[in-house]
Amino acid sequence: MIDHKTLNPRIDATVEKLNSLFGAAPEVAVVLGSGWAGAVSHVEDAQQLSYAELPAFPQPKVEGHVSEIVVGRIGAQRVVMLRGRAHTYESGDCTGMAGALRSLKRWGVKALLQTNASGSLRTHMPPGSLMLISDHINAPQRSPLVGEPGSERFVDMSSAYDVELRSLAKQIAKANNQIVGEGVYVWALGPQFETPAEIRMFAAWGADAVGMSTVPETILARHAGLRVMGLALMTNMAAGLSAEALTHALTLQQAQASGERAAAFLARVVAGLAELPSLRA
Ligand code: HPA
């Protein structure tokens, strides 16, 4: 549960720092999931800042693990990229990104582009495929908004993944001959991978991809009033759908193999957002 007494002053300090170092907020923030780190190489005039300097952000734990924001632009679109997210499987706490996302909103960010690595539930999306998230299933039924005061906590999730942002991403995919699927992402808590029986159940529920992130952040972002887009990179067929045993190494290997193409597509989408009047209103 979020402790507002301690989080709110940390958000104030974070927003102050972002304003003083970078000026007005970019309209667009990107959360980089596994496999997507290459996207930072597309950022021009990039300035880095460690999460350690941003008190509302998840504080870096593992030495050598990158936890930083990268502020700059891609084409005409200013952007802030978040390298590193707090996962619920690390602590059991699904509110880890609350301070970061609320700070971004207060700073003036309008849209959150989430990226992740996922297991595919559909043979037409083999490893290496990209999928725009059209909707999600919160399988653990955990909410970062438990304990939140006020009626805003009853967030409408009926179009959580922004239709206009998705349609722009589809146009950009088409113009660049990039095949991008569209489908439902199901959140599994992890850190263990799913069983084949769980995957069969998720497929019957209508899920197309499974992963251990994204959903808590989408809920927090919608509550904060940020528009959300989600892009999933398939790193493996989900449990039971291929002969191969699932390992973290396998998913990282596939993420690396397809990451560059995924990052290049993401960069095109970010650049394309400069043409969207609704982000400038
Ligand atoms: N399951 C859950 N999370 C994942 C997977 C998976 O198969 N692949 C990458 N992240």
CA pseudo-torsion sign 265, 267, 272, 278: positive
Is residue 64 scored above 70 in pLDDT? no
54-to-10, 12, 198, 226, 242 alpha-carbon distances in Å: 8, 10, 38, 20, 42
274 known member of a binding site:
no
How are beta strands 77-83 and 68-74 bridged, if at all? antiparallel
Q: Which of 200, 213, 246 to mutate to test the pocket of ligand 1 (most atoms within 8 A of CB)?
A: 246
Is residue 174 scored above 80 in pLDDT? yes
Q: How far is CA 127 from the centre of its chain?
A: 19
Burial class (CB in 10 A: 0-12, 13-18, 19+), 252: middle
Average pLDDT over residues 193-211: 98
Residue 274 near residue 77, CB atoms below 8 Å:
yes
Distance CA 93, CA 61 (A): 15
Is residue 249 scored above 80 in pLDDT? yes
Domains belonging to the chain, first-starting first, are: 4-146+156-276 (3.40.50.1580)
pLDDT per residue as tens digits for the range 106-139: 999 999 999 999 999 999 999 999 999 999 999 9
Residue 125 near residue 208, CB atoms below 8 Å:
yes
85 known member of a binding site:
yes
Q: Which of 137, 194, 214, 234 to mutate to test the pocket of ligand 1 (most atoms within 8 A of CB)?
A: 194
Amino acid 65: pLDDT: 73
Q: Is the CB of 119 under 6 A from ligand 1?
A: yes
| Nearest CA, atom 10, ligand 1 | 118
The owner of tokens 């290049």 is 264
Average pLDDT over residues 225-254: 92
| Nearest CA, atom 9, ligand 1 | 118
Q: Is the CB of 193 under 6 A from ligand 1?
A: yes
124 known member of a binding site:
no
Q: Which residue has the higher pLDDT, 34 or 159?
A: 159
Instruction: Kindly give, in sequence order, each residue whose CB lies less than 8 Å from that of residue 247, ignoring residues fewer than 6 positions away.
Output: none
Question: Partners of 181 in the beta sheet?
Answer: 131
Is residue 63 scored above 70 in pLDDT? no
- Percent with pLDDT over 70 in the chain: 99
Residue 187 near residue 138, CB atoms below 8 Å:
yes
pLDDT per residue as tens digits for the range 1-10: 999 999 999 9
In 10 A of CB 171, how many CB atoms?
13
Q: Model-level pTM?
A: 0.96
Distance CA 173, CA 268 (A): 9
Phi and psi (nearest 5°) for 251?
-65, -40
- As a whole number of Å, the end-to-end CA separation of the chain is 34
ω before 9 within 30° of 0 (cis)?
no
Is residue 66 scored above 90 in pLDDT? no
Amino acid 245: pLDDT: 84
Q: Is the CB of 238 under 6 A from ligand 1?
A: yes
Cα–ligand 1 centroid distance for 181 (angstroms)? 17
135-to-157, 169, 175, 273 alpha-carbon distances in Å: 9, 15, 24, 21
87 known member of a binding site:
yes
Residue 169 near residue 144, CB atoms below 8 Å:
no
Q: Is the CB of 251 under 6 A from ligand 1?
A: yes
Is residue 61 scored above 80 in pLDDT? no
How open is the CA angle 123-124-128, to the nearest 5 degrees? 90
120 known member of a binding site:
no
- Binning pLDDT at 50, 70 and 90, where does residue 252 land? confident
Residue 166 near residue 132, CB atoms below 8 Å:
yes
